[in-house]
Each structure stands twice: as C-alpha cells, then as structure tokens.
Structure 1
Amino acid sequence: MPKAIRILSPVLLLAAVYCGWIPVDIVRPECGDLAELLWVVMPPLAGVMNVVSAYTDRGVGSLRRLTFWGMLLKLCLIPFYLLLFFGGFTILVALAVVPGLIFAVPIAMAMFIVMGYALQLLTSSYGFVAAARAREQGLVGGGTATFLIMLHAVPVADVVAAIVLFGMVRETDGEQAPKAAAA
C-alpha cells in the first residue's frame, strides 16, 4: 500500500469522527441531513480503510509504525469517547424524564454502545496486527501477544494495551540498534 494512503487513513478516520454534523449544522443549516448522512457513512468507511491499511502494511519498520498509529488513534479518540459517554448519558436522562420517550432509552443506549464499540474495534486493528507480528518476529511470547490482543477488544484497556505494545516494540528497537551498529 502506498505510503500516502498509510498515513492518510488514520488522519481521515480522525477527521471523519471529529468533523461530525454539529459544526456543519451551525454553519450551514440547510445541509444538515446530508452532513448527518456523511457523518454516519464516513467513519465506518475510514475505519475499513484503516483495517485494510493495517493488514497490508508489511514494509520495513511496519511493526513500529503499526503500534504508533494504533496508540495515536486510541489517544486521539479519548475526547470523542468522553463526549459519547457524557453526551449519551445526558440524552438518556432527558429521554427518561419525558414519559412517552422512556421506551426509547434502551434503543438509544444500544446505538451509543454499538457505535462506540465498532469504532474501538476498527482502531484496534493496528494492535491486533502488531501483536501478531511481534509474536511472529519473536519480540513477545505467545501468551503476551494473546493477552494484548484480548485487551485491544476491551474498552479502556485497549488504550493501555496500545501504549504497552508501542513501548515493548520501541524498547526492542532500541536494543537491536546497538547490536546492528556493533556488527
């Protein structure tokens, strides 16, 4: 995969998530429905582009690159998840107060959970691939790789797993550099 696409795919995902319908509705209210449609369609498309990018990246330094983008995406999406949690909680409380809308609470809650978890799994593709490749290259053991892959599927723990995996790969890169220079 070309280098520009490997770099563009995580940036496009962040832009698709953060450039939602709210700013467009404020600036141009007449295109609100189109903007909402784009906001619903673009993040999954950008997420799939990231999955393809992660699974096809096999160049020199790909392991470190995969762990870097995985960690960066996880850290950059923390504000979105906080907004999703607190905004979703506020919406759910507002729905529960109105007598006729109390039945919409489980539906809205399910939508928030599915949206957040789907985004988490799409961004975890970098961690899944990086942990498997680190295992193949002998940088981590099988149990550690399996544990890191499982952590990437658990909310909040995925951020910790991405940071730990990046640190492990970076540490092994640091150990290999003096050995290569001495040889």
Structure 2
Amino acid sequence: MSKILRIALAIAFIIVFYTGELVGIMFDYQGINVVPTPTWILLLFATCAANVASAFWISRADPPRNLAFWGLFLKVCFLPIFLADFYIFVLMRSWFPPSPEVSPLGFFLIAPYVVLSCPLMIVSSCYGFAAIDRARDEQLISPERARKYKWGLALPIADLVAAIWLYARLRRLDGTAPTCTPDDDPLSPAHTTPQPVADIDDILATRPAQTRRAIPHPWPTVLPLAASLCFIIASYAGGPVTMIFPPPYPTLRIDVWFLVMFVCALATIVSADAFKGAHNPKTLALWCLVFKLALLPFFLTMTLIVLVLGSYFFAPRGLIFVTFIMLPLLLLGTYCIMRVTSSHGSAAISRARNQRLVCRETANKLQRGLATPIADLISSIRLYALLRRLDDASETTTSETL
C-alpha cells in the first residue's frame, strides 16, 4: 500500500505543478485548461505536504533504493523548470546590470521564480533524505558519507548530482554479487574456462511446473522486442530528425512525439528488466547491440544538430540565450535515449554477474561504458563478444565432458 501511495503522490505533485497558471504562462500553454493561481497554490502546498509525509513517515519502511529513485525521478521531471528559471535569471542579469537604481527592480522580478523553485528542490530532496537515513540505519553507507549526501541534496544545482550518485550507490549495493578473484575474471589472462553458477532464475526454471507460476512462452520474447521496435519507430517518426530530414511518410507533432517516446521508453526499460530472467546474457547483449545499431543514424543526426547549435555560441548576443536553453535540453534528451538503448545491455550484465560469468569489477566497467555517450556502442560490442566467447567455451567444455 505504501508503494502505491508513494507513486500516486509523486505523480500527483508533478501533474499539479505543471497544470498551474503561472507555469502555463512560463511555457506558453495553448489549448490547455490551467488551474487558477489561488487553487493551484492550495493544491501545490497540499501535494508538497503529502509527499513530505510519504517520504518520512508513510514510506519509511521501504527500501532506501526505492526512496532514492523517486527523489531522482522528481528532480529529473522538474529539470525543465530549473533550466527555465536559470535562463530567466541570466536574462534578468543582462537586462538589469548591478547598480543601486535597477538592482531592486531586478530582484523583484527574479524573486517569484526563485520562490517557485524552492518547494520543488525541497520536496524532491525529502525522498533522498529519507533514503540516506534508512541506508545509514541499515549500515549501507557510513555516517560521514551520509552527511556528504545530505549537504549535496541541500544545495541548488548540486542536488541533482547528489541524487544521481546516491541512487547509483544504493542500486550498486542492492545488487552486489560475491567478489571474485582475478582468476574468475573472463578478461584476465589467467582465466581458462567459465564457471557459471545458477542464480535464482535458473533455480526457478528447474522446479516442477506445479510449484512455480507458469509464464506464457512467447511473452518474455515478444514484449521486450515489441517495446524496443516501437521505440525505434517513434524515434524516426517525429522530433528533431524529421525537422532536419523531412520524410515522405506522416510524422508526429512535437508534443505528441514527446509523449509517445516517454511511453515507449518506459515500456522498453520495464520489459527489459522484468523478463531478463527468461533469456541468457548473450541474447540480451545481442538485442542491445542491434538496438544501438538501429538508432545509430538518429544519434548521428543529433550530433550534427548539436554541432550546428554549438556554433551559435560565437554568434551575436541575442542567439546565445536561445542556444543556452536549447543545447542542454537537446543533450539531455539524447542522453536519455542512449540510456534506453542500453537497457538490454544492463540486464545482460546483471544476469551474467549473478551467474558469475563476469566479475563484479568487469561488470562495473561495462556498465560505465554503457552509460557513457559514444563509448556505449563500443561497450555493447565488447559485451556481446565477451558473452559469446564465454558461451562457446562453456559449450566446448560440456561437449568434451560428455
């Protein structure tokens, strides 16, 4: 019940904030009924208080990784507001230079946007504070590290970086496997043959059919592939690519494209994680590599757009502010799409690590490679080549034993 309530309150907070009249004026909503300002302020305070109560009391027994995830989720969802506020701050500073005559007027114009950002940072950091307290009580992190994370979540701009590091650390601690020696590392020269160890998915697969819940055979394969295919089609059916290279087929409007991409990305990530136990790591790594190769023209186009926008930094002063907002949003969107294409690869690494096909250190290197732009394609090729070599070596060893 606490999980459902936590999710509902976080989504309600996002919806209430983005449907307000002040935010509608900021982003120039057209054709959307916004909530009047007095009602919006009342609903905003109510959802803020509900999320704070959910973080510190209702969901206090939940795992710290889940709390850290929802704190990071809220910060990412409110990132357009923070970027818009920062842009307005820079614009106001250029219009009202520091002087005794105009400084009060500039402060009066900037103050509402600063006040608007405060509840977002505070509420989104509450889930992080609760995650830190619970992780410290469970001795997952030391008190010194907990204080550093809290200071990071309490500072503007640094709070997003601290939320990312907190969730990454708790996720790594939550999914740790026994550390293997250098002889167990497939990348080590001393490694001879892989020694796979059955994980929980393999144990469930060997149980009698009447003692485990049967899963329809085609769905673990059909659903992840269908979600990935829909994501690829949506990428080429709208957005920046169709603006640069108009295709002969009908395309999606930019607002509809964002919604379709979000739904397809969520379906891809959830299906890749939910059905990873039904496939061996080599198959998942192959899907990841094909996924990235299918979207390679998309990323090349986005790189071209980034280079063109980057050249406007040397243009007259009026274009610098436009580029200052568009370029970070474009880079952030491209990185999020790249992370979606790495979902099958992350599932392959997780499953291979649980089976002790790769060492934890090697798995961490591959995960960092999949999370790095440009290097993600190289890491996916390396991951597939490694798992294929291990699979061939395991089959050879089995045939020789027989």
TM-score per shorter chain, which class? Answer: 0.7 to 0.9
Report which of the two has the higher share of helix.
1
Aligned to 1:164: 382
Residue identity opposite 2:294 in structure 1? C
Name stretches of at least 5 consecutive residues in structure 1 with no aligned partner: none
Q: Does structure 2 retain, via aligned residues, the 8 Å contact 1:96–1:105? A: no
Q: Does 1:77 align with 2:295?
A: yes
Tell me the alpha carbon deviations over residues 116-152 of structure 1, each in whole angstroms, 9 at most, x when there is no partner: 1111112222222211211111111111001101111
Q: Relative to 1, partners in 2 of residues 1:73 and 1:26: Cα closer, same or farther, differing over 3 Å? A: closer
Name stretches of at least 5 consecutive residues in structure 2 with no aligned partner: 1-214
TM-score of the pair, normalised by structure 2: 0.41
Aligned to 1:136: 354
Distance 1:26 1:132 in 2: 39
Q: Relative to 1, partners in 2 of residues 1:58 and 1:132: Cα closer, same or farther, differing over 3 Å? A: closer
Residue identity opposite 2:224 in structure 1? R
Residue 61 of structure 1, CA deviation: 3.4
Larger Rg: 2
* TM-align CA RMSD: 2.6
Aligned to 2:237: 19
Distance 1:114 1:76 in 2: 20
Q: Does structure 1 retain, via aligned residues, the 8 Å contact 2:276–2:348? A: no
Q: Does 1:7 align with 2:242?
A: no
Aligned to 2:393: 175
Distance 1:128 1:26 in 2: 33
Which of the numbers 42, 52, 63 marks the counterpart of 2:270? 52
Structure number with greater CO (CA < 8 Å, separation at least 6) is 1
Report 1:76-155 matches (<5 A): 76-93=294-311, 97=315, 99-155=317-373
Q: Does structure 2 retain, via aligned residues, the 8 Å contact 1:95–1:104? A: no
Q: Does structure 2 retain, via aligned residues, the 8 Å contact 1:20–1:35? A: yes
Q: Does structure 2 retain, via aligned residues, the 8 Å contact 1:47–1:122? A: yes
Q: Relative to 1, partners in 2 of residues 1:178 and 1:27: Cα closer, same or farther, differing over 3 Å? A: closer
* Segment drifting more, 85-94 vs 43-52: 85-94
Distance 1:145 1:112 in 2: 29
Distance 2:369 2:318 in 1: 40
Q: Percent identity between the aligned chains?
A: 25
Q: Relative to 1, partners in 2 of residues 1:113 and 1:168: Cα closer, same or farther, differing over 3 Å? A: same
Residue 91 of structure 1, CA deviation: 4.1
